[in-house]
Copies of this chain bind each other. A is one copy, B any other.
Amino acid sequence: MTTSTESPSTTDATPAQGEDLREQVHDAARRARRAAGDLALLNRDAKDALLHAMADALVERGSEILAANDLDVAAARQAQLPESTIDRLILTTDRVTSMAEGLRTVAGLPDPIGEVVRGNVLPNGLQLQQVRVPLGVVGMVYEGRPNVTVDAAGLTLKSGNAVLLRGSSSAERSNTVLVSILADVLRAHGLPAESVQLLPCHDRASVQHLITARGLVDVVIPRGGAGLISAVVEQATVPAIETGAGNCHLYVDAHADLDTALRLLLNSKARRPSVCNAAETVLVHRDIAGEFVPKMVTELRSAGVTVHGDRRVADISGVGASNVVPVTDEDWSTEYGSLDIAAAVVDSLPDAVEHIGTYGTGHTEAIATADIRAARQFSARVDAAAVLVNASTAFTDGSEFGMGAEIGISTQKLHARGPMGLPELTSTKWLAFGDGHVRPAG
C-alpha cells in the first residue's frame, strides 16, 4: 500500500502489538479531535500568523531538516529504491524554501471558515444561514514526498482542521523533523501540538487503523499512486476522497485547427509526463487523420514520446512500422506517467466520448475543435472533473485554477471534484436564530 521499504519485522507484529498500534492511532485521533475544537475557533489573523511563523521556522531550521533527509536518502539508496522514488524524497535548501513559500501562499488565501454559503429569513421570521465550518480531523495517507507533510499541514490548519499524517516509512526521519518544527510553532502560539501529528509509518496496519477510525476521523485523503488510492478508498469506513488517477485524453475533432491540436497534444503529453493531468491517449477523427496522424507521430517522436497506435494510426503514419508501437488493450486504461501515448483513429465525436467513458478516470478530458457544436457536445457529454476546449490538459491544477494551492485532485463526484483547495477542506453548518419559534403541528 505504501513504498517497498515497509519494515518486515513490524509487519510480523504479534496480535498484542497490533492492538497497541490500533490504540496508538485512535489515541492520536482523539487528541487531534480535541485540538480541532480549538482550531475551529481561530480567526484568520491567528491562523495566518501561525503559518508565517511555521514558514520562518522551516527556513531557520533548514539544516536539521536536510540532515534528517540525508539519512532517509542514504537508507533509500542502500535499500536500492528506484531513482524516481529517491528523487521525490530528496530535499534541498531550495525545496525547503519552496515548502516555506507554500505556507506563506496559503496564509495569503482567504479564510473559508465562517463564509455564509446561503442564508435567508424564513416566512415565519426564523433567520437561517449555512456557514462554512472545518471538517474536523483530516487523515492524509501519502507516499515519499516530504513536502506533502508541510503542504497538507498548511492547508488543513488554514481551514481550521487538525491533521493526522501517515507518510511513507522511507521519509520517516524527514517527516519527523518537519512535524516537530511545526509542533514547536503551534506550542509557541499557544495551540495544541496535536493539531499536526505524524502516525507510525513502519506497519501498514496504521493505515488500516486510520481509515477505519469512524467517529474519530472525519475524512481521509490518499495521495499517491493508483494502488495506494484504490486500497484506501475501498477499505476505508471513514469517508474518503479519491484523488489523482488521471487517464486523460485529447480528442482531435474533424474541425480542429491542426497546428493548435498539435501544440495542445505536445503540451498535454510532454510538459510533465509524470503528473496526473498529462494526456495518456490521443483520439483523432478519421476525417483529418490522414493529414494529422503523420505530423503527430513525427512531432511526438521528436519530443521523445513513444506512440502506441491502433491499426489505423499505424497504417496512416506510414513512415515505417518502427514509428508506432502496436497498442494493446491494456494501453487504453494505462496511466503511463512517462513519455508514452496511446493513439487511435475514431469515426465520430460520439465514438470518442464513448471511448473516454469506457477508459477514462474522470480526471481531465480535452477537445481540439473549431466547431462550436462539437465543443458543446463534447463538454456536455464527457463526464469528468474537468473538460477543456482548445486548452492543454495541463491546466487542471489548483494553482492554475486560482485556488492558490491544492491538497489533491478529486476524481470522485461527491463533496469535491477536481482540484481541492481550502473550501474543499470544509463542511457546513446550518445556524438558525429565532425568538422562541416553534413548528406548528402537521
**Contact mask A356-381 → B, CB, 8 Å, 1/0?**
00000000000010000001000111
List the B side residues contacting A383 at CB < 8 Å. Answer: 40, 133, 136, 429
Chain B nearest CB, measured from A220 CB (Å): 11
Q: Is the CB of A437 within 8 A of B392?
A: yes
List the B side residues contacting A436 at CB < 8 Å. Answer: 257, 260, 263-264, 368, 390-391
**Contact mask A109-149 → B, CB, 8 Å, 1/0?**
00000000000101000101010010110000000000000
**Contact mask A410-428 → B, CB, 8 Å, 1/0?**
0011110110000000011
- How many monomers of this protein are in the complex? 2
Please indicate which of the listed interface residues A126, A385, A437 has the most CB atoms of chain B within 10 Å of its own CB. A437
A263, B439: Cα distance in complex, Å? 10
Q: Is the CB of B391 within 8 A of A437?
A: yes
Tell yes or no: A387 within 8 A of B by CB. Answer: yes
Tell yes or no: A271 within 8 A of B by CB. Answer: yes
Chain B nearest CB, measured from A410 CB (Å): 10
Tell yes or no: A58 within 8 A of B by CB. Answer: no
Q: What residue of chain B has the Cβ atom nearest to residue A233's Cβ? A: B237
List the B side residues contacting A433 at CB < 8 Å. Answer: 375, 388-391
Tell yes or no: A394 within 8 A of B by CB. Answer: yes
Q: What residue of chain B has the Cβ atom nearest to residue A239's Cβ? A: B414
Chain A interface, >50% SS class: mixed
Of A6-14, A77-85, A178-186, A396-404, the stretch lying at the interface with chain B is A396-404
Take A392-B439, A414-B415 as given contacts and tell me if A122 and B402 are in contact as well, using a CB distance cutoff of 8 Å.
yes
Chain B nearest CB, measured from A177 CB (Å): 28
List the B side residues contacting A16 at CB < 8 Å. Answer: none
Q: What residue of chain B has the Cβ atom nearest to residue A265's Cβ? A: B438
Tell yes or no: A435 within 8 A of B by CB. Answer: yes
13 contacts between A and B (CB under 8 A): A41-B381, A122-B401, A128-B401, A135-B413, A214-B234, A266-B438, A379-B431, A385-B430, A388-B434, A390-B434, A391-B433, A391-B434, A395-B439
Interface residues of A (CB under 8 A from B): 37, 40-41, 120, 122, 126, 128, 130, 133, 135-136, 214, 218-219, 233-234, 237, 239, 241, 257, 260, 263-264, 266-267, 271, 368, 375, 379-381, 383-392, 394-396, 400-402, 412-415, 417-418, 427-439, 441
